[in-house]
Amino acid sequence: METEKRIYFNYHGKHITGLNQRCRLWSHPYDYVTPQKATLSSAGCGVFSVCHCGQWLTGKEFDPDALADFSMANGGRGDDGTDRPALLAAMQKSGLAAEYGFRYEMDGLRNDLVTLWAHLSGHRGIALCNLRVGHIVSLLDARIQNGEKQVLVLDSYSETLDARISPIVREIIADSAVYSVEKNDAGCMIGTHCQYAMYWACCDTIRDFNLLHAL
pLDDT at 35: 56
How many angstroms separate the CA atoms of 73 and 7, rounded?
A: 28
How many angstroms separate the CA atoms of 88 and 83, rounded?
A: 9
pLDDT tens digits, one per residue of 157-170: 999 999 999 999 99
The three-class DSSP label of residue 2 is coil
Angle at 171 (CA atoms; ends 167, 175), nearest 5 degrees: 125
- Give me the mean pLDDT over the 6-32 stretch: 94
**Which is higher by pLDDT, 36 or 167?**
167
pLDDT at 31: 81
User: Which of 2, 15, 43 lies closest to 154, judged by CA?
Assistant: 15
- Give me the mean pLDDT over the 162-185 stretch: 95
Q: Beta-carbon neighbour count of residue 50 at 10 Å?
A: 30
- Give me the mean pLDDT over the 20-30 stretch: 95
pLDDT at 78: 65
Mean pLDDT over all residues of the chain?
93
pLDDT at 81 over 60: no
CA distances from 212 to 37, 126, 146, 198, 206 (A): 30, 5, 27, 19, 16
CA distances from 39 to 48, 87, 108 (A): 12, 17, 25
| Helix segments in the chain, DSSP class H | 40-43, 45-58, 64-73, 84-94, 96-99, 113-121
How many angstroms separate the CA atoms of 6 and 88, rounded?
A: 24
How many angstroms separate the CA atoms of 123 and 59, rounded?
A: 16
pLDDT tens digits, one per residue of 107-156: 999 999 999 999 999 999 999 999 998 899 999 999 999 999 999 999 99
- Give me the mean pLDDT over the 16-34 stretch: 89
Q: Which helix (H) or strand (E) holds 140?
A: strand 135-145
How many angstroms separate the CA atoms of 101 and 214, rounded?
A: 6
